[in-house]
Structure 1
Amino acid sequence: MTRFATSFISSIDGTSSEISTKELCGGARIYYIFNSVFGNSLESIDPTYNLSVLDIRTAIRNSTGPRPSLFVPELAFDLLVKPQIKLLEGPSQRCVELVYEELIKICHTCGSNELSRYPRLQGKLIEVVSDLLRERLGPSSSYVESLISIQRAYINTNHPNFLGAAAAMSSVMQDKHEREKKATAAEEKRKREARRRKELNGVNGADTPEDDEDEQQQSVMPVRAVAKTQGRSMSPAVGRDGHRLGHHAASNSGGASGTAGGGKDSFLNYFFGKENGMASSAGPLPGQGAGGMPGMMPGGGRHVSQNYEPSIAASFRRGDTRPANMPMELGEEAVEDGGGLDDPSVPALTEREQLETELIRRLISSYFNIVRETTADQVPKAVMHLLVNWSKDSVQNRLVSELYKEGLFDELLYEDDAVRQEREKCEKLLGTYREAARITGEVL
């Protein structure tokens, strides 16, 4: 029993003299489970793969109740992130089961050749150790489950590694502007290609189909937008005079660089409650100078961009459900690109909803990564403490208490019939050899 317990412990610690060179075994196999199997399974989890844009939007709307929200509701983040943390429980429980199976395998392979003479004793040793491991499997699984429940019980958004709302919104706006720059560059490239084809074809002054299409888009969109304003009021950031819409459309292509700063401040002011900035952005624009350029804000205020970004912020403040960066005459075809919803019966996302869903998605990913790192560190420690180390410390005492009984000696030390017959055969053969050796010695 002592040799069996020592062999079991040394196999786990890696100090056994019979270490295999063909494959991982014992403690090395347990490390492989922790580092490669369990670690890779956690890394393969996408925290938002099962969250569609519609799910996030619905959670945001449900968390606001009957009133429109001024800010992104924090309750929506809690409602969405807790089920995602639950995804870590499956790989964690699988890790416990794999370590348990590896310990059972060690138990079956740590017997010596001498122990194989007594199959009943060997079977009892394996049975006692297996029962010990099975007893520890339940508490280990329960504790790992409680680790995941603890993470879901309290969402600590004050964690130092958490991205935070301000950083998340800054990232969202930065990506948004990057996409706009790429779209602008692609459009410029398309126009250059059209001009180059026009020059190569030798068309002097004649409009190509691409030029006609561009002119129609530039002329039709402002006219339709002005027609639309007959039925409803315009965004405060654009202005309350009809002639400002034309200036907005004209300056929309040339003010991309100024939009980045102004748009970012508008969104940050909205989401994070900078009321001074909101007030300055929400107010009507001052009069324009002689050159037609907008003036400065009173009291040394910053220049207010005429692009669509202020109109987005204004639509946030007034709860407009129309995408603010889209011309008023555009329908579902233009909205589909931002909404990402295939069902035509589902309303497309507004500009505000797009930003809110992307913000929630990034916050979920950030917090999930924190919980994932914590789980990857705590689960192996819990398994080692409650299952592996406990078994190592208790195996010797458990074997003695269960098997070291006088009434079991005859049964446990019963020798295998085949081994006994082979042993008797060898003893007879040995006696014959000795007798032959004696006779040979007398003759010589």
Structure 2
Amino acid sequence: MENLIPVINRLQEVFLTVGAEVIHLPQIVVVGSQSSGKSSVLESMVGRDFLPRGSGVVTRRPLVLQLVNVPPPGERTLSENGIKTEEWGTFLHCKNQVFTDFDEIRQEIEKETERCTGANKGISAEPIHLKIFSPHVLSLTLVDLPGVTKVPVGDQPDDIEQQVREMILSYISNPNCLILSITAANTDMATSEALKLARDVDPEGRRTLAVVTKLDLMDAGTDAMDVLLGRVIPVKLGIIGVVNRSQHDINTQKSMAQAMQDEQSFLQRHYPSLASRSGSRFLARTLSRLLMHHIRDCLPELKTRVTVLTAQYQGLLGSCGQPVQDQSATMLQIVTKFATEYCSTIEGTARHIETSELCGGARMCYIFHETFGRTLESIDPLSGLTTLDVLTAIRNATGPRPALFIPEISFELLVKRQIKRLEEPSLRCVELVHEELQRIIQHCSSYSTQELLRFPKLHESIVEVVTGLLRKRLPITNEMVHNLVAIELAYINTKHPDFTDAALVSASVNSAQGETLQDSGRRWKSDRAAEEKTSEEKVKSSGSAYSSPTRSPAVNLLDTPVPVSRRLTAREQRDCEVIQRLIKSYFLIVRKSIQDSVPKTVMHFLVNHVKEHLQSELVGQLYKLPLLQELLTESPDTALQRREAASMLEALQKASHIISEIRETQLW
């Protein structure tokens, strides 16, 4: 199981090359406040002074530290690494340089930090990757983060505290990381910022290991026994106490070996019952053991994650397409594919069937038979036509002489007025189908022809060509629909086999009224005689009152207002009802014809024409050698996406190969 940590280190190096964080690798993250002793703890694990020191925020970039245990120089072969020195270090940002002087490692960390953050004590999330090879270290991977700060110093930004917190949380929120929470013993553990942050993401403490530093600096008469035993802050992975080197020890260059010996002596004197479970050496062994077990537990999920991501990035790389080699062939392929997909969407045979809404031919069918059909059926044949309108038309058609029969011209005048109302919904039907044909362009671009996303200029040109073709066919289709209505208006076919015979309609109306024309005449004469008798009686009465007749003033008949409404005679009622029934009968015939003819006209003059000529129109306007280079200029986003997908896919394939090398027997 000791080989698991080097495996994770190899995986970490693989994914660092692509700068991605899609895989949460098991690692140990070191968290603590400023001056809590983080640097001293890390240096004690390495056994060397190599970290920058000073006041304020010293660690200003994450430091990914990989410790690699190697055999001593005498047991090492040249073929293993080619290095004869006992200990050395390498940085990812300068791979070909080997650092055998740990003072130079410190200087390189400082220089690389300032290169990215400047000299104003600001921080950066870009990590520094350091690998240290030594026979005196246990294989470990740790991430040292900037210390939690409260007050900005120097030129630090005002939100430096928030920046540090966000950086720490971005690391420790990874469920596959172990949190090494460092707190100084001479501070209140209950207010430890490191433990607070750890508790936010790991409330049960299942992946938190607490380290209490500076045990030798506690006030006289006090100790950290309750803290180390977990009575103050319970942590599942345990609490380990250590003794740091003092600044005097560092200034006098006290050796690490002597510092660890003094640490053990202090622990034996003050914490004899915990001495075997405390100190820097025990901390290193504990971290190595915890990390190995943690890697073992995370490995199945890690394998699954790599497999899933490999499939996803293979699909992403496929959608980006291959770089263009033959422009002519690529152009023909894209144009043909677009035209085919466009026509298939209309026919309902497209590969990508929309499930959330009607699209293409299905929507056109809905427009023809639901939207257009229901609109026509909702038009009342007699809507907007009053009885007075009908009566006026009949009178105007008779001229100066009273007509014995209903004039046919009045019927034609009124029925044409009603038929004209069918034109507007018919033209609206054309407009709706035209809009759907326009919408299919975007549908095909989004779902079927992903190549168009690679070439934005070609996409724009295809949209322009198809839109132009639709725009050219729209007035032609509208004109034909207009002609359909005009044809119906041009000749009122009263001999149509479905048209009701006028004589039958008249007879039906008479029968419904319950009287014949003669009965109506007799009744009119009787009413007239009664009126004349009443008039004579009024005249006689008037003559007895006056001895001589009086002449009434002259009356101009043209000035007499025509009554707006009056009670119609039986004949007028009959004539109006006959005309209304005939209008309704003929209107329904024409409406049925228009309802059938308009969809056919739209399909022939617009939809089918576009289907038949789309590809030839695209080829004719776009397949021109001077345009190929410009139209097939790839989108910068697509090119970048392809490179990133290819790099990530390569990293995932390497990771899969590394993980596959782990045998089941190595896990136990």
Q: Same fold (TM over 0.5)?
A: yes
Give the structure with higher Rg (CA).
Answer: 2
What residue is the counterpart of 1:402 in the other structure? Answer: 621
CA contact (8 A) 1:325 1:351 kept: no
1:428 and 1:344, CA in 2 relative to 1: closer, same or farther beyond 3 A?
A: same
Matched, 1:379 2:587: no
Structure 2: distance between partners of 1:22 and 1:438: 42
2:429 to 68, 88, 95: 95
Deviates most, 108-117 or 356-365 = 108-117
1:312 and 1:419, CA in 2 relative to 1: closer, same or farther beyond 3 A?
A: same
Matched, 1:311 2:519: yes
1:439 and 1:21, CA in 2 relative to 1: closer, same or farther beyond 3 A?
A: closer
2:642 to 423, 428, 439: 423
Structure 2: distance between partners of 1:84 and 1:55: 12
TM-aligned CA deviation for residue 175 of structure 1: 3.3
1:122 to 447, 459, 464: 459
Larger relative contact order, structure 1 or 2 (CA cutoff 8 Å, min sep 6): 1
Structure 1: distance between partners of 2:581 and 2:597: 24
CA contact (8 A) 1:57 1:357 kept: yes
1:155 to 492, 498, 501: 492
Structure 2: distance between partners of 1:149 and 1:117: 49
TM-aligned CA deviation for residue 110 of structure 1: 1.1
Secondary structure, aligned partner of 1:23: coil
Residue 418 of structure 2 aligns to which amino acid in structure 1? Q
Matched, 1:78 2:412: yes
1:218-237 matches, within 5 Å, as none
TM-aligned CA deviation for residue 173 of structure 1: 2.7
Greater share of strand: 2
Secondary structure, aligned partner of 2:621: helix
What residue is the counterpart of 1:337 in the other structure? Answer: none
TM-aligned CA deviation for residue 171 of structure 1: 2.8
CA contact (8 A) 1:162 1:370 kept: yes
TM-aligned CA deviation for residue 57 of structure 1: 0.8
Residue 131 of structure 1 aligns to which amino acid in structure 2? G
Structure 2: distance between partners of 1:323 and 1:424: 103
TM-aligned CA deviation for residue 346 of structure 1: 3.4
1:62 and 1:410, CA in 2 relative to 1: closer, same or farther beyond 3 A?
A: same
CA contact (8 A) 1:11 1:27 kept: yes
CA contact (8 A) 1:85 1:371 kept: yes
Structure 2: distance between partners of 1:150 and 1:119: 47
What residue is the counterpart of 1:257 in the other structure? Answer: none
Deviates most, 416-425 or 354-363 = 416-425
Structure 2: distance between partners of 1:164 and 1:314: 28
Matched, 1:60 2:394: yes
TM-aligned CA deviation for residue 399 of structure 1: 0.3
TM-aligned CA deviation for residue 418 of structure 1: 1.7
- Structure 2 gap segments, 5+ residues each: 1-334, 532-561, 664-668
Structure 2: distance between partners of 1:326 and 1:38: 54
1:326 and 1:24, CA in 2 relative to 1: closer, same or farther beyond 3 A?
A: farther
- C-alpha offsets along residues 26-51 of structure 1, whole Å, 9 cap, x if unaligned? 11111111111111111111121211
Structure 1: distance between partners of 2:417 and 2:476: 24
1:132 to 437, 458, 469: 469
Matched, 1:412 2:631: yes
In percent, how many aligned pairs have the same letter?
A: 48
Secondary structure, aligned partner of 1:411: helix
Matched, 1:352 2:571: yes
Q: What number of residue pairs does the alignment pair up?
A: 296
Residue 354 of structure 1 aligns to which amino acid in structure 2? Q
1:88 and 1:438, CA in 2 relative to 1: closer, same or farther beyond 3 A?
A: closer
Greater share of helix: 1
Secondary structure, aligned partner of 1:110: helix
What residue is the counterpart of 1:144 in the other structure? Answer: 481
What residue is the counterpart of 1:9 in the other structure? Answer: 343
Structure 2: distance between partners of 1:374 and 1:324: 49
- C-alpha offsets along residues 68-92 of structure 1, whole Å, 9 cap, x if unaligned? 1111000111111111110000110
CA contact (8 A) 1:42 1:91 kept: yes
- Structure 1 gap segments, 5+ residues each: 178-262, 268-309, 316-321, 330-342
Matched, 1:393 2:601: no
TM-aligned CA deviation for residue 404 of structure 1: 0.4
1:161 and 1:411, CA in 2 relative to 1: closer, same or farther beyond 3 A?
A: same
1:437 and 1:95, CA in 2 relative to 1: closer, same or farther beyond 3 A?
A: closer
